[in-house]
Amino acid sequence: MPRARLTLTIPDGIWIGDVSRAYPDAQFRILAALADDQAGVGLAEVTAQQLPSILTEIDASEEVTELDILQRHDNTALIQFETTMPLLLFSVQGAGVPLEMPFLLADGEAEWELTASQHRLSELGTQFEQFGIPFTVNEIQQDIEPEQLLTDRQLELLTVAVERGYYDTLRECSLTELADELGIAKSTCSEILHRAEGEVIKQFVNRVTDVTVETETP
């Protein structure tokens, strides 16, 4: 299933975006959040040198209907807030994509990592456009389980080869010894290993070179 890494730009006029841009060195670590059709509740850790001023601005925001400071130590505060404009939550709910926590927000931008099907990621992009949220897709990876990449026989042989030190720099097991241990011909062992190695290498190269980067702006 695809795993995406996104950077979102919080639109002007949204309280958390405005506050974070006013204090660009501040970090908002969103620990938990939920929303219905009208409001949202969030739990966040805020770290900043100007922490008192930031908390005052959050509390004064018209979109924040309740603010509770649960813990505070030096330049960090744990806060719970209720807002009438949980814009980011509205977008993921509309797309049916689970939002992974925690995520960081700073200087008006949020960093998200999501795991979802291709059509739900596409719907999420549509939701961002509808809500006026500019975003950048930094990376998309397709996670593949070993059993999807290799046959049972290939996986078994490759596992034994690694365990016996066949791939060590100073090889501890020869191809002949590996074939004898598995009870197969040396040529058969070589062919199975070659095919398995090819699949693993191609997948690795695809992972490190095929990075999708694009920007969507409404």
Instruction: Spell out the long-range contacts of 114-118 with Cβ–Cβ below 8 A and sequence spacing 24 or more.
Output: 114/3, 114/4, 114/6, 115/1, 115/2, 115/3, 115/4, 115/143, 116/1, 116/2, 116/4, 117/1, 117/2, 118/2
pLDDT, position 51: 97
Instruction: Tokens 């975006």: give the residue.
Output: 17
User: Does this model's pTM top 0.75?
Assistant: no
- For the chain, domain boundaries: 2-142, 146-209
Coil, helix or strand at residue 174: coil
In sequence order, what are the residues at sequence separation of 6 or more whose Cβ sits closer than 8 angstroms to the Cβ of residue 72?
51, 78
pLDDT at 73: 93
Q: Over the stretch 44-69, which tens digit does the pLDDT of each residue have?
A: 999 999 999 999 999 999 999 999 99
Architecture (CATH level 2) of domain 146-209:
Orthogonal Bundle (1.10)
Structure confidence at residue 206 as a pLDDT band (50, 70, 90):
low
Contact 109, 8 (CB under 8 A): yes
Distance CA 63, CA 52 (A): 19
215 pLDDT exceeds 50?
Answer: no
Q: How confident is the model at residue 204 (pLDDT cuts 50, 70, 90)?
A: low
Q: Which two tokens stand for residue 184?
A: 């197969």
Mean pLDDT check: name the lowest of 22-26, 93-97, 140-144, 177-181: 140-144
Confirm if 129 and 122 have CB atoms less than 8 A apart: no
